[in-house]
Amino acid sequence: MKNFEFVRPADLSELLIIKKKLQKKALILDGGTNLLIYIKDGVIREGTIVDVTRVPELKGIQRKNGTVEIGAAETMTDLMDSELLKDSIPFIPEFIKDFGNMLVRNTSTIGGNIADASPIADSAPPLLVLDARVVAASSEGERTIPLSQFFVKPQETALHPDEVLLRFEVPVPKSGRGRFVKLGLRRGTSCSVASAAVWLVADNGNVQEIRIALGGVAPKPLRIEKTEETFTGARLDTETIDRISEGVKQEIAPITDVRGSAAYRREVTARLVARAVKTCAGLEES
């Protein structure tokens, strides 16, 4: 039998008291697009559903000096429509166009997508190449965690049992261009087979800086730093892009599952990265 309770904290201090008391038994609910599926499928059988939709501290998008702060409970639709983001980090509204579909975006939140720690979370690769940071809160205070250190394994993050994901801090890029590409069986709605985000800073036809993050090829979304380092300073042409693709294949170790085989994932991921780099370099239309 399912055995759930329900609480609705009115603000962050109430939420943190509940989280301290219930620890992992507190099931944080906002959009519900993951949690209700886990409950319906029996993956989660008991706990206290903590409805955070009315906690004001989890909301808000604001620019502070060189950083944009995004509340964990901001919905994908609100991020996609945010004029502040379109002006400061247009890559975020851009990648969200490919996230789920309108019905999912209207309730799902950026914090929920990241805290779920799915290896194929669509918002993870873009936030990884943006060098985003996570701010966690507990009744003891706040701490900042680089997103690259936040994911541990599927459904497990660096959050302590008494902590909640409060907001993201995303540095406003000074230069460069980002692109997110993914392969799913149904546009948007389906869970992706593999995904890739690239941030490219080009200078006089050379790669000044390249950041590559992948989803669906490891137990967690990750940056492939070896390939990033190898191609820093390289000439930005189709030959280099072919070699980057080869580098991606060498550096990843995907697995076979219901959505695709390891060999297929390796091939697809290499091509997704190539496509993203070409778009960033202006060699191919997005």
Partner 1 sequence: MMGKTLYDLTITVNDRVVKSKVAAETSLLDFLRDNNFTEVKRGCDHGDCGACTVIVDDRAILSCLTVALQVQGRRVYTVNSLGSWDKLHPLQQAFVDREALQCGFCTPGMLMTAKALLDKNPHPTREEIREAISGNLCRCTGYNKIVDAIEDAADVISGVSKGGQHG
Residues that bind partner 1 in the complex, under the rule CB under 8 A: 1-6, 8, 29, 31-33, 36-37, 39-40, 48-49, 51, 53, 77, 100-104, 106-107, 187-189
Task: List, in order, residues 6 or more apart from 137 with CB less than 8 Å away.
Answer: 12, 16, 163, 164, 166
49 versus 196: smaller Cβ distance to partner 1: 49
63 versus 259: smaller Cβ distance to partner 1: 259
Q: Which of 4, 88, 93 is nearest to 50 (CA)?
A: 4
102 versus 263: smaller Cβ distance to partner 1: 102
55 versus 244: smaller Cβ distance to partner 1: 55
Report the amino acid identity of residue 219: P
64 versus 186: smaller Cβ distance to partner 1: 186
DSSP-based three-state secondary structure for 141? strand
Cβ of residue 166: shortest distance to partner 1, in angstroms? 20
Cβ of residue 77: shortest distance to partner 1, in angstroms? 7
Cβ of residue 81: shortest distance to partner 1, in angstroms? 9
Cβ of residue 53: shortest distance to partner 1, in angstroms? 6
Cβ of residue 186: shortest distance to partner 1, in angstroms? 8
Cβ of residue 200: shortest distance to partner 1, in angstroms? 27
| Cα–Cα distance measured from residue 57 to residue 79, given in angstroms and rounded to the nearest whole number | 16
2 versus 153: smaller Cβ distance to partner 1: 2
| Cα–Cα distance measured from residue 183 to residue 230, given in angstroms and rounded to the nearest whole number | 26
Cβ of residue 183: shortest distance to partner 1, in angstroms? 16
19 versus 211: smaller Cβ distance to partner 1: 19
Instruction: Name the packing angle between helices 238-251 and 262-281 (round to 10°).
Output: 150
205, two tokens = 């036809």
Tell me the C-alpha to C-alpha distance, in Å, between residue 113 and each of 2, 239, 277.
24, 36, 25
| Cα–Cα distance measured from residue 239 to residue 231, given in angstroms and rounded to the nearest whole number | 12
| Cα–Cα distance measured from residue 31 to residue 93, given in angstroms and rounded to the nearest whole number | 18
184, two tokens = 């799913």
Name residue 211's beta-bridge partners. 199
Count the alpha carbons within 13 Å of 177 in the hemisphere toward its beta carbon. Answer: 13
44, two tokens = 């989660």
| Cα–Cα distance measured from residue 120 to residue 272, given in angstroms and rounded to the nearest whole number | 14
